[in-house]
Structure 1
Amino acid sequence: MLEDQASFPADGRDLEYREFQLNDIKVEHHPNSGILTKVEAFGDFKCHPAHHSLWSVPEPDAQPWQPFKSHLEFDVAEIALEAANICHRCARRSEKFTFRNHKDVRAKWDAASQRLTGFTKDVISIPFTDKSWDFDVYYCDLWEWATNLLHDPYLFPNFHFDAQRMSKFNGQLFKQFVDEPFTAQHFWDAQSQLPGEAKPLTFILYVDKTKLSSFGSAKGYPVVARLANLPTNIHNSQGMGGGYIVGWLPVVKEDKQHSGKPAWANFKVTVWQKSFERILSLLAAKSKMGQWLECLDVIQRWFFPLVLILSSDFEEQLTMSLTRGVRSLWPCPVCLVLHDKLSDTLCCYPCCTSQKETAEEREEVLKAYGLHDVLNSFWALSSTDVHRALSWDKLHFHSGGEWSDHLWVELQKHINEAVCPLRYLLLRCVCLYLELDMYASLEVHTSETISSGRHTHCAFSALLQRYIDKTADESNKNWNFPKLHMDVHIFDDPNEKMHGSLKDSYLLCTNFCDVAEQILCINTWQVVADCIHRRLFKFDEHQHQVHNSEEDFLVNVIDCPIISATNVFHVKLGSKQQSQTFDVIEVAHRDDQAFGDFHIKLNDFLNTLLPSLNVPLPSGKHIHLRGTDEITEYCFIHINYKSMVDWCQHTNYLRCSPLFFGSPRFDCVFIRLTENKVILGRLIFCFECQVEDRRFPLALIHPFDSPTGLCLRKDKDLNFFRVRVGPRAQAWFFH
């Protein structure tokens, strides 16, 4: 739960100052870190780790393409990797080129791969019936992989070793927000369990079985790891610091003789847990005693590895938590909800815990809760609670479950019915579901958004229950399913991007035999290529700075000024058209009332606009544009704006074109009239007007600001915000 804090804490000795301004950011580190709480102005705030100022990135490698002989050789090898064939480029002979065949290219990739953590292949034997079944499992050393990232000079400045609580001042209170795993309560609690000097090294593990072939005959079972100590924009990316395949689990093929039997279900779970145990095995001892490691800032840190987040489909979550399945007595992997209460999402239930029992205690628990009699591989890791680590997955639980299999199916039943009260009730459910899905999609959560999200979930649950009750007699639809219940855990405290590349690797780069080894090899080469690309970029950037003359530097500064955060451009016009006179424009749009007295209305607007901008009128006289004066039309607008969701700068592209890919397109926009009043409108005409030596970007907009009358019941029920367009002749100019 996020907590709001008074603007003046009882003990303010750890604050740098106590005079707070609107939107100030307060950063409170975990008490074990020994770092003082700090308050910064919003414009000055940068989410840097505490050790950031103590570390400077070294000069780039002078030969970043190594172990390839030259930049050219690396380019050719990468083309061969991406295109799945051998490509030769004969260009300038100033670069070394020693490749002669595919064997040379492969040998060089293998040499480059030595910089990354390699894979180990083990065979696990699981007894079942009267024989032992053998399975191949591939895994890499998770500790070695993590320390490689910690020793990367470009990644290290971004590591966060201590939990943080972030809050933003709203004028009265500091409102806590969460935008990274290390700002969430789970990270804070994990560090609280460790010795005072210890640092949590937190893993995010993503597991999901995927089809490699179009018909699903070939399947892969990758395990992807990320470090939650790195910011989201890094650990959710590809390449170094992003998602990395650290394991490949065996896929147990169904056996007709045993399929569907409890013993077979236990056997498959055992195969999964024993395989995953190999992946976690090299972290187990370090999670209990910790491991000292000297970082790049020459500081020894005592790391305790733990799994912070487990992301997967619901079926994998059942296997991870050893829950027997959707028909078991307690089917939720997170909490203790009874199987017949899954549709009752207004109630809260006790959380499951990863307590280790004796054999006798375990037997009693198994009887009471219907759990698999299998040792959980996650129990080997201290400070890791598998039930708390399991994360709500929007893709699998909402898009691939609650919507596609239930709400959408129900909605299709009622689409063609003329009058149906149930259809209206279902529409209200769908609207609240979409609102709940919106809150679940936010990348930055505050105490207010979490409270609003939970309120929306309660309203959705109550309304859906009404629909379920009204359709119970005439529908055989089962609404008592786990993915609906999982909505309860949306706000309790992250991406299937890799599957596409795995499928491409299977189809283009394997011989369809020993698939796992080939795909893991190709994936490693792709990560190596990304690392070399990054070093090449740093090297080229450094060389450019070194060889630029002082004259070039001055030219660059003048031609490309650095724009500060407080002076960044807001609007730029694009898709420039030929300049035209007002007479030509008014004739071309003579049937459009918005262009009536176009240049006369523009005179009135400019005579008001310029004084409001403290721009003197030409010669102190009112502007009087004539029909023969010219303006320049633009059909594209590039807008930078500060998001109200994550408070970062984002970019939007608007079109105002009579012919955009064969059709007219005039986008709608939000218009801020005053500090507290915003209206909607539609772009009609974008242009640039010159007044003496100054050019003003302007837009003619048709506002949607006419009175809408009394609020209709359906607008309230469906959360509609009704607008009404005014007369076209009332279109006006905006700067």
Structure 2
Amino acid sequence: MSSNASSSHVDTFHCPHCTQSFPTTQALSNHVRPCKANAERAADRNIYAQRRLGTAQARPAFQPPTNPWDNIGQLSPDQLVRLGDIPSHRPTAPQPGPSVQRTHASAQSQIPQPGSQRPAAGSPHSHATPLTDRSVPPEPPRQSSSQTTDGSEIPQNSIRTEYHPKRKRAPEIVNLDEYNARRRRPRTDESSLPLPDDRPPYHPFRTRLDFDFAELVSSSALGKAEITQLLSLFKRGVDQEDKLTFEDFAGLQASWEEAQHLVSPFEAKEIKIPFESEEKTYTVWTHDIWKWIVECLENPILAKQFVWDAERLSRRNGDAWERFVNEPWTANQFWKALDLIPEGGFIVTLIIYADKTNLSTFGTAQGYPVYIKIGNLPSETRNGKGLGGGRLVGWIPVTHELAPKVTSTNKEARNSKDWTNHKRIVWHKSFLKFLETIRKHAKDGFPVECGDGIWRVIHPIILMLSANYEEQAVMAAISGTNNAHPCPACLVAAQNIPEYSEEFEYRCWEENKELVERATSPNSSALAVISATQDLEEVGVRPIENAFWEYPYVDLHRLFAFDRLHNYPGGLAKGRLVKFILGRFKSSAKAIVVRRIKVEKRAADLPRWRGLTHFSHILTGTAYQDSNKWEDMARTFLYILPDIFGPTDRAGRQVLRCLRHFLNLNALSSFENHSDTTIELMRRELKVFSEEVQKLGEITGKAWTFPKMHLQMHMPDDILAKGVTKNYSSKTFEALHKALKVFYQWMTNFRDVDEQILNADHRKYVIEYIKALIEAHKKDLDDLDGNEPPEAVEGKYSYSNVTLKAPQHWQAVPPATFQFNVASELGEYAQHCEGVDLVEEIKDFVDKKSDIIGFSAQGVEFCIQSFRSLETFFTSKETWDIESNIVRCSPDFYNKPRYDAVLIQTTEGMIFGRLLALFIARPTKKHKGVPIALILPYDGTFRTNERNKDQHFGLHRVRPFPQAKAELFAAQSIIRGGLLIPAYDTDTDYFVFDVLDGDMFLRMREVMYNERYPV
């Protein structure tokens, strides 16, 4: 960087945790606290990951006076002894329990099963043994080496990657931890961004502070008047070393104009389309897609993130390899695209989205944006907000819903066939304009020097189209719901929509193209036109030229993908299942009113969980635009309605059966990894769901013959072809609409808004580009100066897979002065510790583990500290990666008591429990000590008929033993948090909320159905 640039660049105050710079100490102060918390949380996650990999620079195991308890996860099975119950309630003598290594050979052993009986006192598995230790760390670290030549020696859960034959790369085998580490590893670390002419990275802005100011006013959607006033205030302030040089809006505008060339802008193009006796002219705004692709390819920041090879991934499961998919390049369509292009070429895969959106609150102003994402980039990049995320590349003209000649007295022309066809022609002619710059390169390719310095011949390939059903019908140019074959992908008959199917007769675009040409060509005979038109009507295709027909290597009807957002939360949940349930409570009859009050109270009293909507009025406050709310309503209803819809209510109970299997499908559709096993489970659930829906139709007399009932049948094949649903979900695209609405509201004059909105969006993209330049340049300077980023320091209260939070004293105190009022701290759960001296039990707990933890409770400096929350890290059965939960045990969390449920690993398997309190016991105040959890176990037994009753709705019930007492567990034995919903038919029982997330869903499948999902 030049000396001039260096002198104008000011980083006055630096954050010690992330190295971000701030112009004032006040700005730094506001930033540091949350940044520190995020850094500590990231450190805890990294330390857990390193320990699983065996790479952490940890203390030698079990060498006092260090902290051997941290390494309890590395104990051999014979070193693991059962942790403890409170002794005053255990009448029999202590018994040494068996050592159990966690396996998945028998899912039945994990949680008490139907008909299981409690072991007799004194037996090896007795829960009645006093002060016996039944805590087991959730999972030991795996071996880090997995590369073998003999298939029989390959460790379980190893990952094999096979590459496309054109790449001539040998298959690779790594273990699961290394595979996850590669996926998590930042790919921008090696990028170095050359700056043209030694100009500073914030050029054309004169100073870094100028750019920061421009970024602020852009993200805040400030107008000219607000910016001018703000600048006048700044000019009265004290000058900084890096001066803000803008004196008025004109100065800022001049920098904006100069910065426009950094990324390609939008262009206005006209299309002329005849309608009846006149020719209509429309303005199409386009962004050169090829230029944008090249900008991404040439960018060194993104270069390390591009994936060029098609991969087939398999996981070692038993004696065989089981295939799985996640990202687009792991699925079949990416592989097939490489088959089609010439030898030596590379594909850049495109995910295209289009949908009309309301810009104003009441829908009087509308926009029709077109977005594109690059499928070669990882999901966290392409679905993110920064460089490499979705890009607005087009703006389709919004045509009126009514034909021009419609009057208040003549409604026949509303949505007339000719006008509807005209609107579709406008759409496809517009898309031809969008695609024209990449269509010519798709077949033959074009050489590009990528940001990693390698020349590649690039073929831009459309991989998938993301849209709701209505927009898919526009893209396919079919007539939609009023169609004998309403699916945009296949030719399923409308009357067969509710039926389950696995094999489909896909639409043929070549046949449709030939029919359209015959039907519209002036050279066709009248008989040929009539015949072709009738054939088109039979398959529901409109007689218009489709924009995708001429695009190389594209089978239009294979591009459509299952849109989870609009088909499940915003479709079957909102429009059918939840709607049906809400309709059951609309009557003003006294019995219905009583039920309505009961249901609303149940929903309002449900325990809270992060990410799950809490409903104060679940039956009445239902004006939601957010589809996630409808999804959460569906999840909630399953657990609070079983006893409301009694045995004689056939329709009510049948809709709950449908809801159960819908929620199973909804959970499966959200998975970030899909294996052959989970795909087969999805197919089984689709079949059962279809059968249950048809039974409901027989009861109510209403068949579910709408297209969204059928579109889900394509989901398994879509996942195998294109990867998991988040790759093509419209949810990530619709999130981009928010910026357009802000631009309309605050950065336009509400007249001729298209150009104003697109200019604002282009400005936002320029900001993202310059910001990426600054961040990369700053890193290069740090590397040249030898400045290493601060190392992550293990959290003060971190222990292997758990971190304790919310300490109740600033330090641990001796037992004599330690205060823990059981009645006030445990509230309604205090009865489970009645007559217990908790301090003495903690001391006794420590003494019995002294040979493992390296200290006893008899030292004069022994002390205890209490906590009210815990973060637990675990390996998800869905993602196979590290995830975390925060669970709480507080008598006053936002003015309400909160004692979360947890899943615990014991020597008898996994059980649920209620977290009541957390402690750390230390031999001295400076010693890290050991974490201890006070938990009420829900490990009571059930009769077979009780389990069978709950199985009707797919529910799993847990309960404590009669007069159960709380027990002390090693905090590391907590696997994760959970959610338990009252069963309502008894005060002691709870239902496990198994659709909380993918990991919990699969864990409960193992428990309830003896299925196996190893991790």
Tell me if TM exceeds 0.5.
yes
Contact 1:346 1:461 in 2 (8 A): no
Kindly tell me the number of residue pairs found equivalent between the two proteins: 699
Structure 1 residues 408-487: aligned runs within 5 Å? 408-415=578-585, 416=592, 419-472=648-701, 477=702, 479-487=704-712
Partner of 2:577: 407
Contact 1:210 1:221 in 2 (8 A): yes
Deviations 1:640-662 (A, max 9, x none): 22222112222322222111111
Look up the SS of the partner of 1:63 in the other structure.
Answer: coil
The alpha-carbon deviation at position 688 of structure 1 amounts to 1.0
The letter of the residue matching 1:691 is: P
Deviations 1:38-92 (A, max 9, x none): 111222226869xx99994225757221111111101111222123131333454
| Residues 547 and 53 (structure 1), Cα distance of their counterparts in 2 relative to 1, 3 Å cut | closer
1:574 equivalenced with 2:805 (yes/no)? yes
Deviations 1:286-320 (A, max 9, x none): 12222222223443322221211111111110011
Structure 1 residues 660-675: aligned runs within 5 Å? 660-674=893-907
Partner of 1:131: 278
Q: 320, 325, 333: which is aligned to 2:475?
A: 320
Partner of 1:375: 545
Structure 1 moving runs of 4+ over 6 Å: 14-17, 52-55
Measure, in 2, the Cα distance between the counterparts of 1:278 and 1:395: 29
The letter of the residue matching 2:887 is: L
1:686 equivalenced with 2:915 (yes/no)? no
1:695 equivalenced with 2:929 (yes/no)? yes
| Residues 59 and 402 (structure 1), Cα distance of their counterparts in 2 relative to 1, 3 Å cut | closer
Deviations 1:549-607 (A, max 9, x none): 7xxx79x55xx4599xxx99521112111245656545553954326132333234323
The letter of the residue matching 2:215 is: E
Look up the SS of the partner of 1:377 in the other structure.
Answer: coil
Q: 293, 296, 302: which is aligned to 2:451?
A: 296
Deviations 1:607-641 (A, max 9, x none): 34343xx33444xxxx4489x96411111212222
The more displaced of 53-62 and 395-404 is 53-62
Look up the SS of the partner of 1:488 in the other structure.
Answer: helix
1:517 equivalenced with 2:761 (yes/no)? no
1:45 equivalenced with 2:279 (yes/no)? no
Look up the SS of the partner of 2:745 in the other structure.
Answer: helix
Measure, in 2, the Cα distance between the counterparts of 1:169 and 1:518: 55
Look up the SS of the partner of 1:154 in the other structure.
Answer: helix
The more displaced of 71-80 and 347-356 is 347-356
The alpha-carbon deviation at position 680 of structure 1 amounts to 0.9
Look up the SS of the partner of 1:712 in the other structure.
Answer: helix
Measure, in 2, the Cα distance between the counterparts of 1:115 and 1:528: 7
The more displaced of 365-374 and 246-255 is 365-374
Contact 1:23 1:168 in 2 (8 A): yes
Contact 2:853 2:930 in 1 (8 A): no
Partner of 1:199: 346
The more displaced of 194-203 and 294-303 is 294-303
| Residues 500 and 217 (structure 1), Cα distance of their counterparts in 2 relative to 1, 3 Å cut | same
Structure 1 residues 2-21: aligned runs within 5 Å? 18=151, 19-21=153-155
Measure, in 1, the Cα distance between the counterparts of 2:160 and 2:238: 56
1:531 equivalenced with 2:769 (yes/no)? yes
Measure, in 1, the Cα distance between the counterparts of 2:382 and 2:349: 12
Deviations 1:90-146 (A, max 9, x none): 454422433122122122123223111211111111111111111111111111111
Look up the SS of the partner of 1:380 in the other structure.
Answer: coil
Measure, in 2, the Cα distance between the counterparts of 1:167 and 1:100: 61
Look up the SS of the partner of 2:935 in the other structure.
Answer: strand
Q: 204, 208, 220: which is aligned to 1:71?
A: 208
Partner of 1:732: 968
Q: 249, 267, 270: which is aligned to 1:120?
A: 267
Deviations 1:329-353 (A, max 9, x none): 2110011101222222346431223
Measure, in 2, the Cα distance between the counterparts of 1:223 and 1:414: 40
The alpha-carbon deviation at position 268 of structure 1 amounts to 1.0
The alpha-carbon deviation at position 482 of structure 1 amounts to 0.4
Q: 366, 370, 378: which is aligned to 1:231?
A: 378
| Residues 209 and 377 (structure 1), Cα distance of their counterparts in 2 relative to 1, 3 Å cut | same
Partner of 1:385: 555
Look up the SS of the partner of 1:110 in the other structure.
Answer: helix
Measure, in 2, the Cα distance between the counterparts of 1:140 and 1:16: 51
The alpha-carbon deviation at position 725 of structure 1 amounts to 2.1
| Residues 334 and 625 (structure 1), Cα distance of their counterparts in 2 relative to 1, 3 Å cut | farther
Contact 2:799 2:931 in 1 (8 A): no
Contact 1:291 1:303 in 2 (8 A): yes
| Residues 685 and 625 (structure 1), Cα distance of their counterparts in 2 relative to 1, 3 Å cut | farther
Contact 1:60 1:535 in 2 (8 A): no
Partner of 2:493: 338
Partner of 1:707: 941
The letter of the residue matching 2:838 is: F
The more displaced of 664-673 and 721-730 is 721-730
Contact 1:48 1:158 in 2 (8 A): no
Contact 1:603 1:625 in 2 (8 A): no
Look up the SS of the partner of 1:355 in the other structure.
Answer: helix
| Residues 363 and 303 (structure 1), Cα distance of their counterparts in 2 relative to 1, 3 Å cut | farther
RMSD: 2.8
The alpha-carbon deviation at position 439 of structure 1 amounts to 0.5
Partner of 1:488: 713
Partner of 2:164: 30
Partner of 2:846: 606
Structure 2 gap segments, 5+ residues each: 1-146, 407-412, 520-531, 586-591, 593-644, 719-727, 825-829, 972-1015
Structure with the bigger RCO (C-alpha within 8 Å, sep 6+) is 2
Contact 2:490 2:504 in 1 (8 A): yes
Look up the SS of the partner of 1:491 in the other structure.
Answer: helix
Partner of 1:210: 357
| Residues 471 and 542 (structure 1), Cα distance of their counterparts in 2 relative to 1, 3 Å cut | same
Structure 1 gap segments, 5+ residues each: 1-13
Measure, in 2, the Cα distance between the counterparts of 1:385 and 1:672: 50
Partner of 1:657: 890
Contact 1:414 1:420 in 2 (8 A): no
The letter of the residue matching 2:164 is: H
| Residues 132 and 663 (structure 1), Cα distance of their counterparts in 2 relative to 1, 3 Å cut | same
Measure, in 2, the Cα distance between the counterparts of 1:445 and 1:365: 39
Q: Which has the higher strand share?
A: 1
Q: 746, 758, 761: which is aligned to 1:508?
A: 746
Measure, in 1, the Cα distance between the counterparts of 2:156 and 2:794: 27
Measure, in 1, the Cα distance between the counterparts of 2:568 and 2:921: 49
Measure, in 1, the Cα distance between the counterparts of 2:311 and 2:454: 20
Look up the SS of the partner of 1:226 in the other structure.
Answer: strand
The letter of the residue matching 1:609 is: K
Measure, in 2, the Cα distance between the counterparts of 1:530 and 1:594: 57
| Residues 131 and 165 (structure 1), Cα distance of their counterparts in 2 relative to 1, 3 Å cut | same
Contact 1:55 1:297 in 2 (8 A): no
Structure 1 residues 352-367: aligned runs within 5 Å? 352-355=507-510, 357-358=513-514, 359-360=517-518, 363=533, 365-367=535-537
| Residues 54 and 392 (structure 1), Cα distance of their counterparts in 2 relative to 1, 3 Å cut | closer
TM-score by length of 1: 0.89
Q: Share of identical aligned residues, percent?
A: 29
Measure, in 2, the Cα distance between the counterparts of 1:261 and 1:54: 53
| Residues 644 and 178 (structure 1), Cα distance of their counterparts in 2 relative to 1, 3 Å cut | same
